[in-house]
Structures are given as C-alpha cells and as structure tokens.
Amino acid sequence: EYIMEALMDTLLKETEVYKIVGFKKSKLERMIAAKEFPKPIKFGNRNRWKQSTVIEWINSLEVA
C-alpha cells in the first residue's frame, strides 16, 4: 500500500500530463484558467502535477 501511495504522488511533467489526459498544451492552459483542471506546482519556470491529483481529476469526470 505504501509503495502505491508513493507512486501516486510522482510529479508529472507537462508532456506526461498531455499524454494522460489527451489534451494539447493550449487546451490544458484554457482549462486551468477556467478552473476546470488542477493548477500545476511551479518549479522555477517548469510545471509539474502530482500524479494523484491528475488521477483524482480523471475519476471525478462524469460519464455522459
């Protein structure tokens, strides 16, 4: 269980997030601005997302 928690909190690069959610940078930026997607953690000029945050967002989506 501890190992799974550690893996869930891996910091993802922007390119990794794009692949996971299937959106390009411009769409993701619009979604962040509209508070429709979690804000990244800033490391200097780099953005990172906790993997657990991205997975929680995906799980929160409603199936149409």
| Local structure of residue 42 (DSSP, 8 states) | E
Q: Note the maximum CA span of the chain.
A: 38
What is the mean pLDDT of the segment spanning 57-62? 90
pLDDT (tens digit, 9 = 90+) per residue, 1-46? 556 665 667 899 999 999 999 999 999 999 999 999 999 999 889 9
pLDDT at 6: 59
Tokens read off for 61:
């989506």
